[in-house]
Structure 1
Amino acid sequence: MTHFYRFCQVFDSIEQGDFRLMEAYRPSGIKTMLPIGWTRAMEEIPQDPPWPHCKMLRAPLFPAGYEEEYNMFRVKPGTPIPDFYGTGERLLVSERARAVLETCDDFEHEYIETEIQDENRQRINEQTYYLLSVRRYLRIEELGEKLNTGLIPFSADAYEKDYFPVLQNHPDLMEKVAQLPLWRHRLNESVV
């Protein structure tokens, strides 16, 4: 059976976490979400032949002032920094993780070098880390089909309940989607 892996960004609200995201800030001082123009600037990538019930989109690069961001963590002594971490709009990836991802995905994802900081805004990473903007988006039609929860080993979120049934019921589309190393659904940015 064709399948794919799902990375869902879940934030630990428990104070005792060993590696806990506390805050993120942009050196530019911009505190707002990405401008709506950024979202509207996604361009469709034509598929030949067209994919049934699905369109592929390319997100633009992050706009000036939004691209650089620092993430501050509370880290229990001796806890290693993970190679892959979900921080919101982007993923935090190590140089090692980037090298692996680039060997299996040649799409123009955006990697911006960053630093990981502690609560005092002091750099704590020794190796290079990047903010990864997954630029491949899919817009999978909602067809009103019912999700077969027995086929997935996790609880689908509200958006997944709309588009997972389309993948379950259309094996030709599922086969194509399963070949994509990194993607996000157009309406569900918290899942890669």
Structure 2
Amino acid sequence: MNDRPTGRPRTIDPDAVSLVALRLFDERGYDSVSMDDVAAEAGVSRRSLFRLFPTKGALVWGGLDEFRERFEDALTDRPTDEPAATALRAAYRVAATFPTDALEVTRRRLRVIGANPSLRQEGAFFVTELEHTLVAFVAARDGVPEDDLGVQVRCAVFAAAADAALTWWARHGEGGPEEVVDGVLAELG
């Protein structure tokens, strides 16, 4: 007897699966939730889950590429005569303006990352790519090499401040994420 489903295979929405996982991680704790728990709660097979998300951390970090893309596009759109700090602040404001339907997943993602330092290792590539974008942009604007100490430090400070502001917003939910980030970056000058 053939118990395999007939017809077209069901399409799995990776964003919906990720949201289910983030809710579980946020409510029960990242380390307390297994991939089997996520698959069962999302109503997908373990095999399908691993096809979409090869690691548990990928469920958390998966959606941040859109942030980086918005950030890079916003930097590209800045006037060429604008000071680097002003351009970075404006680009962060654009990137942190999340679509309404992405606010819950973004808030949960940031809370889970903030509560689980071990996740930082898995997201190191994302963070490094973003920091490289900052350094390349600021160095080009300032007309100095990318390994300039001043550029490296300023970019690290901007990135850390934006990350801290977004994590604070995720935990407290006060104001829009773009307003919180902009306010913190404005204080940096």
Shorter-chain TM-score category? under 0.3
Structure with a larger share of its residues in strand: 1
Q: Compute the TM-score of the two structures, normalised by the length of structure 1.
A: 0.24
Q: Which has the larger radius of gyration?
A: 2
